[in-house]
Amino acid sequence: MDTIAAIWDTIFTNPWLHGLFFGIVIATVALTLVAWSIWFERKLAGRMQNRVGPVFVGPAGLLQPLADALKLMRKDFVVPREADKALFILSPVLLMFFALASLAVIPFGPDTVIADLDLGVLWVLAFAGLMLFPLWMAGWTSNNKYALFAGMRAVAQGISYEVPMLLMALVPVIYAGSFNLQDIVRYQADHSWFIVWPPGPGIVAFVIFFIASLAEGNRIPFDIPEAESELIAGVSVEYAGMSYGLFPFTEYLHSMIASAMASVLFLGGWSGPVFPGIHWMLLKTAILFTVILWMRWTLVRFRSDQLMRACWRWLVPISVVVVCAAAVLRYFLLAGGAP
């Protein structure tokens, strides 16, 4: 027993081992959750369309993600002759890497966080922005017109919607006075959720942040980069097998991280009564993720110009006003007054 306790102590005190251990654990759990969230989405989509969803593989189709993964892995990996081979192979790997890197700073509980960075908000938003690079790489190096269009659309949309998303992430930062995600959650646990108090900017900021992160993750109704009816499958059109599988997989991971970020910034993260923090965090993330799926199977796609108009004419001006209002409210309403 002593040796086990000693190993445990070493893991928790050494920052490298701590990061490695929790990184592996949280990445594994997150990837498993993503795999079964695809099952959940298919089941939900089936019920929304009066179908039954997957039923054959395992009880209630629960083993369907395994079957899908197996199918994808058995397929040949084809690199088009005219493609830029190195970058073509690199882009899904980078995409996965950037998506997983955002997980590092998300606090799942009072102590359950891989890296308690002082600039956690910036870290997540930076990696969300970086995810456009592999998308563009995949679009450009595939040497395919559909993929190229998809890459261009993804970059245009991502850059535009980053602006309201960044501005709205500033609202909790202004309220809590810190870029550290743990500090933001602790502040909400001590006072109240930012979506409730101070009244006004919080809920607007939450809605706009949620919409912008949907657009950032290329989910419906903002999925014009992979519009099936126009661009077949978007940037992943030339990919086959598991290298293709990484694209939708990352999309799900990204929307899961977006839900986690929205619940951390506005819904109080792990704060909640009775149950331990991680339950509340996972519950809030799951609810927001379900809303994303719900919207996906209900709404229709924006046109490219409507998308840009909604961003620059509505979301950006509103976010600027909301950030100013948040700063004013912070001065008058929240404890501490002027920082």
Partner 1 sequence: MKYIYRSFLSMWVTFRNIFRKPVTDLQFPRTRRERADRYRTSFALVHDEHGEEACIACKKCQMICPSDIITVVAGKKAESPRTGKSRGYLDDFTLDMNACIFCELCVQVCPTDAILMTRNAPRPEFSREDLFLTREKLFANEPMVTWATATKLAEMQDPDRGQDKPASAGEESTEAEAS
For partner 1, the closer CB: 28 or 298: 298
Give phi and psi for 200, each to the nearest 5: 105, -90
Q: How far is the CB of 50 from partner 1 (least distance, A)?
A: 5
For partner 1, the closer CB: 258 or 310: 310
Contact in structure between 202 and 194 (CB atoms under 8 Å): yes
Q: How far is the CB of 166 from partner 1 (least distance, A)?
A: 24
For partner 1, the closer CB: 47 or 145: 47
For partner 1, the closer CB: 47 or 71: 47
For partner 1, the closer CB: 203 or 295: 295
For partner 1, the closer CB: 55 or 66: 55
For partner 1, the closer CB: 114 or 310: 310
Q: How far is the CB of 74 from partner 1 (least distance, A)?
A: 21
Q: How far is the CB of 126 from partner 1 (least distance, A)?
A: 31
Q: How far is the CB of 47 from partner 1 (least distance, A)?
A: 5
Q: How far is the CB of 213 from partner 1 (least distance, A)?
A: 18
Token pair belonging to 150? 């998809």
Q: What whole-number distance in Å separates Cα of residue 325 and Cα of residue 327?
A: 5
For partner 1, the closer CB: 27 or 207: 207
Site for partner 1, rule CB under 8 A? 44, 46-52, 55-56, 294-295, 297-299
Q: How far is the CB of 311 from partner 1 (least distance, A)?
A: 16
96: nearest Cα among 251, 220, 282? 251
Q: How far is the CB of 206 from partner 1 (least distance, A)?
A: 16
Contact in structure between 260 and 106 (CB atoms under 8 Å): yes
